[in-house]
Structures are given as C-alpha cells and as structure tokens.
C-alpha cells in the first residue's frame, strides 16, 4: 500500500485529498460493505460520496450493464437516437413534478449545474445569480463562483455576478433564539433587501441545495425555499434546486429534497446516485427553458448507453423496492440514536439530517479527524465536511438494512465515547 501511495503522490495533484493517516484501496464490495487491498472489510456509510445509492455488486445494475456491453455498443453520441436515454428521461420528467419537463444529460453534477446556469442566464439575459452561504455546486470555473465555502473555492474570478443568501446558517449569533418561522421571515426580508440594494434588478436565478452536502448537511427549516420562491416569483427570477446529493428518495420524506419545502422549481440538477457509480448527471427543467437555446448542442458522453443502462436499472430498483421508505425508517432510527448520544457527550454540538443523509457536528475539526480514524479502526467508513471541517457526514446506501444501521450506530457511539 505504501508503494501505491507513493505512486499516487508522484502523479496526482496534491490537492486531491485522501482520507486517513494510512489511506486505503478499496478492491471489492457487496451490498453495504467494501473490502480493502489488505483484506479488511468495512461497513460503508459514505457510499463513494453519496454515489453508490444501492451499494455494491447489485445484480440488477450489473446485468443491465452487461446486456448493453454484449451489444458491442458502448458509445454512439447524442447525434443518434438512444433508447435508454429516452426511457430514462421519460422517467425523470414524470418524477420531477415539473410541468412539460425535458431532460438534458451530462457526466457529472458540476456539468449539470453549469448547464442550469447557462439556461437561467440565457432565459433572463442576465449574469446575476443568487446562491446560498456554505454552498457547494462543483469545481469548474462557473460553479466555483456560486460556491460559498472557502475550503473549496480556488478563485474569486467569476463569469457571474453572485450574491449569497442566508439559509443553512441558523446557528449564527444573530439568528439564535429565533423559531423556524421567525428565521424564515428574517431570511425572506433579507432576500428582499438584497434584491433592492446590491443587484441590478434583473437577477437570473437562485440556486440552492435543499440540504448542503459539503456544507456539512446543514438543513434550512422546511418552508424557507417556499418563502424565497414567493419573493422571487414577483420578479420572474428562476429557481434551481441542486439535487445532486438529495435526490432519489434519500431524505426519506420526499423523492426530491426540495419537496420538503413545498416547492416545484423551474429546474433541478442531478448526478451522483442515479447511476450507482456510473458517471451520469443532468438537468430536468421546463421544456421552454431547455428548448430556448439557439445554438446547436450535444453531449458526447452524457446519457451514453452504458450509463443510462445503469441509471435505468438503479432508478427502477429504487422505486420497485420503495427505498425512500427504507431511508426514512433506517435513517430515522440512526438519527434518533445519535441525538440521544449527543445529548450526553460534550464534544457533540449538533446532530442533523433527514433519512439516510445525516451528520454529527463536533466542537473541533481535530475531533472530526480523530473520529475518521476511530471509525475506520472499528470497520466503518464515514465522511467529513462542514464549513470548518468539524462535521462528520454520512449517506449510506439506500439499501442499508436495520441490522446494518444498528451496527453502524453502535460503532459511531463507541467511537464518540472514546474521543470524548
């Protein structure tokens, strides 16, 4: 392993982060468990950063990909009809709840958000965009400009004029003591003030994660985005929901994260979990927005036969097995257990999340780093994030069983107690 690590460091950029003092190489997986090159098996509570939605070696996904591979057609491009792409787009359009929806496929969430920004700025003839503090939307030039997390922001240069709103920062001193209802009112008033003061009056869109991923799974109170949308609608400003991490039933309460707010957005971006590890992303939006672009366009690899075969199988599996309900049940028990443990441990400042998307915020970043090592030693893989790097974030496969949930919860509590 030390040889592979040395080779990695010789040819991979220094800013490509690796977890753990002794990084691991995952060589196999089944269900919710993976095995490293040393033969050690782990229960996976991070799922390739919210991407292996169903876990590992799922027969339905593997067989769908194998059937497509057997045809010999791995790629044709969007210049030809792609049956799997059309079928997948039909499913997503139907599930979106967006009227007259159409879908454009990309390779990643970053590309999806770039596409949504293009659609919004083109439709509104403005480069002004509203985004949320503590947000993360990708690593490209455009998406970095709508990212509000210093640890993930390489440059202040931007093709957009961006203004950042409150939403995931209810913990700040000026908001402490406010009820959710009062906090929503304050945020809506701040939005009105922002529109009246620092913008040019022709804002293109707001883009928001229903639950902030890199931000540490910070959750604005349900209904905040409905209040925002009411204000935005007065000026025709578009609403983009970044569902890259919150889609496909992961929150347990609704199929899309934004539905927790009672909002039907103009566009939703998606990626990560749709392909259960195969690269796919996209935008689902009102047809008039997607049809409006005047220049010829295509996506060389977006929605290719292999990725759409995997995505169709993954989406069908989610729906056929009602994994949204499983997320609510298993995730709810884990969150309740973590909250009970957090109440008696001084190092825990917050436990939050919905369904199988939950986080533990600790008092210090150093404690979060120690927790990563402590859980790894006990056979559990978790993630880390938050504005200050002091949050443990977890998003297990939606197929996680009740027994596996209890196992992971026990490991987390045991590790917390040791660190405390």
pLDDT 10s digits, 47-105: 999 999 999 999 999 999 999 999 999 999 899 999 999 999 999 999 999 999 999 99
pLDDT tens digits, 251-302: 999 999 999 999 999 999 999 999 999 999 999 999 999 999 999 999 999 9
Instruction: Give the C-alpha separation, 323 to 248, whole Å.
Output: 9
pLDDT tens digits, 101-150: 999 999 999 999 999 999 999 999 999 999 999 999 999 999 999 999 98
Asked whether the beta carbons of 257 and 211 are under 8 A apart, the reply is yes
pLDDT tens digits, 1-21: 689 999 999 999 999 999 999
Split at pLDDT 50, 70, 90, the class of 155 is: confident
Domains 2-58+322-419 and 73-320 share a fold: no
CA distances in angstroms from 304 to 82, 92, 145, 376, 411, listed in the order given:
8, 16, 29, 36, 40
Average pLDDT over residues 226-239: 97
pLDDT tens digits, 313-343: 999 999 999 999 999 999 999 999 999 999 9
- Which positions ≥6 away from 375 have C-beta within 8 Å? 381, 382, 411, 412, 415
- pLDDT of the residue at 22: 96
Q: Helix (H, G, I), strand (E, B), or coil: what is residue 221? A: coil
Q: Which residues pair with 393 in a beta bridge?
A: 359, 383
DSSP conformation letters of 257-302: GGGGGT---SEEEE-GGGGTTS--EEEEEEHHHHH---S----SST
Name the H helices within 343-387.
365-377
Q: What number of residues does the chain have?
A: 420
The rounded mean pLDDT for the chain is 97
Q: Where are the domains of the chain?
A: 2-58+322-419, 73-320
- pLDDT of the residue at 2: 80
**Sign of the torsion angle spanned by Cα atoms 169, 171, 176, 180:** positive
Split at pLDDT 50, 70, 90, the class of 157 is: confident
CATH of 2-58+322-419, one of 3.40.50.1000, 3.40.50.1820, 3.90.226.10, 3.90.1150.10: 3.90.1150.10
What is this structure's pTM?
0.97
Instruction: Give the C-alpha separation, 290 to 285, whole Å.
Output: 7
- pLDDT of the residue at 30: 98
- pLDDT of the residue at 275: 98
Instruction: Give the C-alpha separation, 301 to 186, whole Å.
Output: 44
pLDDT over 80 (residue 38): yes
The CATH classification number of 73-320 equals: 3.40.640.10
pLDDT over 80 (residue 235): yes
**Sign of the torsion angle spanned by Cα atoms 218, 219, 221, 227:** positive
- pLDDT of the residue at 40: 98
């Amino acid at each position: 392993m030390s040889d592979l690590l040395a080779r990695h460091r010789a040819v991979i950029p220094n800013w490509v982060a690796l977890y753990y003092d002794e990084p691991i190489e995952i060589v196999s997986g089944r269900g919710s468990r993976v095995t490293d090159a040393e033969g050690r098996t782990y229960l996976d509570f991070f799922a390739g950063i919210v991407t292996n939605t169903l876990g590992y070696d799922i027969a339905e996904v593997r067989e769908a990909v194998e059937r497509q591979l057997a045809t010999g057609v791995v790629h044709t491009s969007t210049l030809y009809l792609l049956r799997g792409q059309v079928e997948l787009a039909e499913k997503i359009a139907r599930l979106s709840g967006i009227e007259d929806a159409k879908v454009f496929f990309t390779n990643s969430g970053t590309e999806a958000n770039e596409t949504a920004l293009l659609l919004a700025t083109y439709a509104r003839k403005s480069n002004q965009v509203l985004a949320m503090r503590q947000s993360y939307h990708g690593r490209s030039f455009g998406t970095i400009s709508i990212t509000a997390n210093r640890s993930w922001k390489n440059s202040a240069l931007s093709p957009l004029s961006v203004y950042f709103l409150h939403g995931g920062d209810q913990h700040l001193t000026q908001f402490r003591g406010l009820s959710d209802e009062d906090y929503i009112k304050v945020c809506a008033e701040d939005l009105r003030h922002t529109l009246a003061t620092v913008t040019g009056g022709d804002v293109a869109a707001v883009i928001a994660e229903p639950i902030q991923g890199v931000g540490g799974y910070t959750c604005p109170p349900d209904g905040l985005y409905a209040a925002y949308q009411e204000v935005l609608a007065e000026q025709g400003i578009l609403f983009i929901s970044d569902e890259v991490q919150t889609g496909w039933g992961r929150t347990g309460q609704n199929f899309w994260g934004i539905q927790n707010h009672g909002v039907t957005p103009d566009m939703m971006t998606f990626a990560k979990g749709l392909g259960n590890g195969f690269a796919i992303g996209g935008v689902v939006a009102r047809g008039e927005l997607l049809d409006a672009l005047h220049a010829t366009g295509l996506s060389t690899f977006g929605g290719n036969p292999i990725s759409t075969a995997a995505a169709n199988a993954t989406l069908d599996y989610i729906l056929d097995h009602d994994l949204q309900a499983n997320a609510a049940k298993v995730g709810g028990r884990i969150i309740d257990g973590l909250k009970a443990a957090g109440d008696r441990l001084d190092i825990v400042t917050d436990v939050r999340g919905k369904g199988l998307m939950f986080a533990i915020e600790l008092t210090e970043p150093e404690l979060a780093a120690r927790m990563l090592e402590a859980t790894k030693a006990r056979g559990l893989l978790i993630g880390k994030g938050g504005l200050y790097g002091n949050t443990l974030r977890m998003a297990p496969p939606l197929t996680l069983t009740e027994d596996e949930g209890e196992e992971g919860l026990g490991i987390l509590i045991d590790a917390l107690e040791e660190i405390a």
